[in-house]
Chain A
């Protein structure tokens, strides 16, 4: 494994001593050249997991190893500097992820300018190369982020992260704020870059349908817990956990005939708040198949079929 989290925990403290169990003992590794899709609804802790993994949040428990080396629980500026050439990230919000006062050139060149301390002018050729590699054009260099569409901005964010040629790229919901047609562009671009650069990727998203096109493996999170993990196609077409099944079934299919024949499978209610969780199955409250034991004991993630890990008592 290139990077491996073991029983990673991230709790946020609230007033009154209560705690938000944002990430609760999640173990997940990413091998070299592998793309892992991490899927969950809002409040599932998927973004917190990604940020805790690479040091943007302090860890509350557990450990993360990168190439076998233990990463610090709390990051300082020096730690980020050390890992800058190895791990990079692209962000969800294409509006907030680019400094509105900087030109596209300054934004993309930032990583090299920080690392090598070279003047910006010397970096121009390389920036143009990356700009064109993400499908933009050299005459965009002097423009400002607000002049671009969401998809174009997201591509600028990709160029900024990849210009330092990292080995691992964390994609934090890079497509959630985009139109479906633009999502496909970004997914395809990331897929191409991953293949040509031999990147490892953690691709965080809130639904599985798009992620399956880029992922080798997929992981599903619910309320801070990892509930299912397996090869992408296998997991998508044969989901085992009741939540994964409902999540996939909820997604509308662009096929009117199929939709007209749909048997409505709705999950009632919404994802509960992850404050002071008790030790039971996180999904028990909404699960149509829940039994008494689901409310008593938290199921462990275990291999139920070769390569398929599920946290459910019923399997």
Chain B
């Protein structure tokens, strides 16, 4: 595919943080592509680097102690890594919208919802105050907030969690961004509200042609929302591909493990399979595969050599994909179609 088919393309990104006694390699060589008008889900446990990855693209990680040591990220044809903070600021909010797990902390508690959204419209789109107000009402209606004319003049604390997340979405799409980054948007919400918000995001995607990066730890949300999936573990993308590849042809033991650990509505699934242990601390990542210590199929090579990425559109970083590896529960990718 050509470059212009991608809304956002990230290559070989690496982010480090200085801490007491050493360096945490939070993101180690992450690449992914976000197709235009599609949803890319980045899945992983806390501490796997999924939030740091997108925050570093947006210039939202504190530097120091953080720093981007390598990589590039192109929004359309524009590079995001290494540009001046002011330029990044202009892109953030205007061309990339963001919503967070906790909308309360992203909104100013002393300003009405309407004013906060209107301010963005005035700054980024140069609207007049009255035009902005009309636009805010339209945005609130779009995000299915009832009585937008009344809600407009309310403060964040007067909104419930679900309503606040809707307001946050209204704010993030106010400038008609190309890309929407949703960082665990429904983790703090109840399942019934989660269902409402996810549906809203799907509707906005089809009406506005939004490209969405959805960060989550919940494979259920991924299954509902994603077109493409990148599974992250220990600061790396361990498997990536189309959503059906990931769910029905899992090529990495970690993805298999995640799926087995998910509860299901399927009455036949009577037992949860767990992945034992905890992810490695990226303060001192293991020399080989980060998952080797928790992997039932671990081989000698996994312990001391990091696996390469096998596959092309469906990729996996796992030695089990090597032609020399024995048969295993993971789906074998076409080994002659290796990534370069």
* Direct contact, A vs B (beta carbon within 8 Å): yes
Tell me the bound Cα distance from A209 to B267 in angstroms: 11
- Contact in complex: A210, B195 (CB < 8 Å): no
Q: How far is the CB of A104 from chain B (nearest CB, A)?
A: 15
- Contact in complex: A180, B223 (CB < 8 Å): no
Q: Does A185 contact B (CB under 8 A)?
A: yes
Asked whether A250 and B274 contact (CB < 8 A) given A182-B45, A255-B223, the answer is no
Taking CB atoms, residues of chain B closer than 8 Å to A184 are 261-263, 272-275
Q: Does B13 contact A (CB under 8 A)?
A: no
User: Can you list, as one digit per residue, whether each of A27-40 has a CB less than 8 Å from chain B (1) or not (0)?
Assistant: 00000000000000
Q: Does B110 contact A (CB under 8 A)?
A: no
- Chain B contacts with A in 265-311, Cβ cutoff 8 A: 265-267, 271-276, 278-279
- Contact in complex: B190, A41 (CB < 8 Å): yes
Taking CB atoms, residues of chain B closer than 8 Å to A42 are 161, 190
Tell me the bound Cα distance from A133 to B198 in angstroms: 39
Tell me the bound Cα distance from A240 to B275 in angstroms: 34
Contact of B263 among A212, A237, A256, A257 (CB under 8 A): A212
User: Can you list, as one digit per residue, whether each of A191-215 has a CB less than 8 Å from chain B (1) or not (0)?
Assistant: 0000000000000001101101100
- Contact in complex: A180, B192 (CB < 8 Å): no
Asked whether A233 and B192 contact (CB < 8 A) given A253-B220, A253-B223, the answer is no
Taking CB atoms, residues of chain A closer than 8 Å to B199 are 264, 266
User: Can you list, as one digit per residue, whether each of B219-245 has a CB less than 8 Å from chain A (1) or not (0)?
Assistant: 111111010000000000000000110
Q: Interface residues of A toward B: which range?
A: 35 or more
- Contact in complex: A252, B224 (CB < 8 Å): yes
Q: How far is the CB of B48 from chain A (nearest CB, A)?
A: 9
Asked whether A179 and B45 contact (CB < 8 A) given A250-B191, A271-B190, the answer is yes
Q: Does A55 contact B (CB under 8 A)?
A: no
Tell me the bound Cα distance from A181 to B247 in angstroms: 16
Contact of A246 among B46, B192, B220, B248 (CB under 8 A): B192
Tell me the bound Cα distance from A253 to B262 in angstroms: 9
Contact of A259 among B162, B194, B224 (CB under 8 A): B224
- Contact in complex: B223, A258 (CB < 8 Å): yes
Tell me the bound Cα distance from A258 to B219 in angstroms: 13
Tell me the bound Cα distance from A135 to B338 in angstroms: 39
- Contact in complex: B222, A180 (CB < 8 Å): no
User: Can you list, as one digit per residue, whether each of A117-148 has a CB less than 8 Å from chain B (1) or not (0)?
Assistant: 00000000000000000010000000000000
Tell me the bound Cα distance from A257 to B262 in angstroms: 16
Asked whether A150 and B46 contact (CB < 8 A) given A254-B264, A255-B223, the answer is yes
User: Can you list, as one digit per residue, whether each of A239-268 has a CB less than 8 Å from chain B (1) or not (0)?
Assistant: 000000011101111111111001010111
Tell me the bound Cα distance from A180 to B46 in angstroms: 10
Chain A residue with Cβ nearest B258: A181
Q: How far is the CB of B141 from chain A (nearest CB, A)?
A: 16
Q: How many contacts A-B (CB < 8 Å)?
A: 126
- Contact in complex: A266, B272 (CB < 8 Å): no
Taking CB atoms, residues of chain B closer than 8 Å to A246 are 192
- Contact in complex: B192, A267 (CB < 8 Å): yes
- Contact in complex: A209, B278 (CB < 8 Å): no
- Contact in complex: A255, B218 (CB < 8 Å): no
- Contact in complex: B220, A254 (CB < 8 Å): yes
Q: Does A174 contact B (CB under 8 A)?
A: no
Taking CB atoms, residues of chain A closer than 8 Å to B160 are 270
Q: Does B66 contact A (CB under 8 A)?
A: no
Taking CB atoms, residues of chain A closer than 8 Å to B196 are 266, 268
Q: Does B33 contact A (CB under 8 A)?
A: no
Tell me the bound Cα distance from A271 to B162 in angstroms: 10
Chain B residue with Cβ nearest A206: B190
- Contact in complex: A213, B271 (CB < 8 Å): yes
- Contact in complex: B162, A270 (CB < 8 Å): yes
Q: Does A99 contact B (CB under 8 A)?
A: no
Taking CB atoms, residues of chain B closer than 8 Å to A149 are 46-47, 278-279
Taking CB atoms, residues of chain A closer than 8 Å to B274 are 181, 184-185, 188
Q: Does A151 contact B (CB under 8 A)?
A: yes
Q: Does B133 contact A (CB under 8 A)?
A: no
Q: Does B217 contact A (CB under 8 A)?
A: yes
Taking CB atoms, residues of chain B closer than 8 Å to A181 are 45, 217, 257-258, 261, 274-275
Q: Does A187 contact B (CB under 8 A)?
A: yes
Q: Does A19 contact B (CB under 8 A)?
A: no
Tell me the bound Cα distance from A152 to B219 in angstroms: 22
Contact of A179 among B194, B217, B224 (CB under 8 A): B217
Tell me the bound Cα distance from A92 to B224 in angstroms: 27
With A180-B258, A181-B275, A255-B223 given, can you name 14 additional A-B contacts, CB distance below 8 Å?
Answer: A149-B47, A150-B46, A181-B257, A181-B261, A185-B261, A206-B190, A210-B263, A210-B272, A248-B265, A252-B223, A253-B264, A255-B264, A256-B224, A270-B162
15 contacts between A and B (CB under 8 A): A42-B161, A180-B219, A181-B274, A183-B261, A184-B261, A184-B274, A209-B263, A250-B195, A252-B221, A254-B219, A254-B220, A254-B222, A256-B226, A256-B243, A270-B193
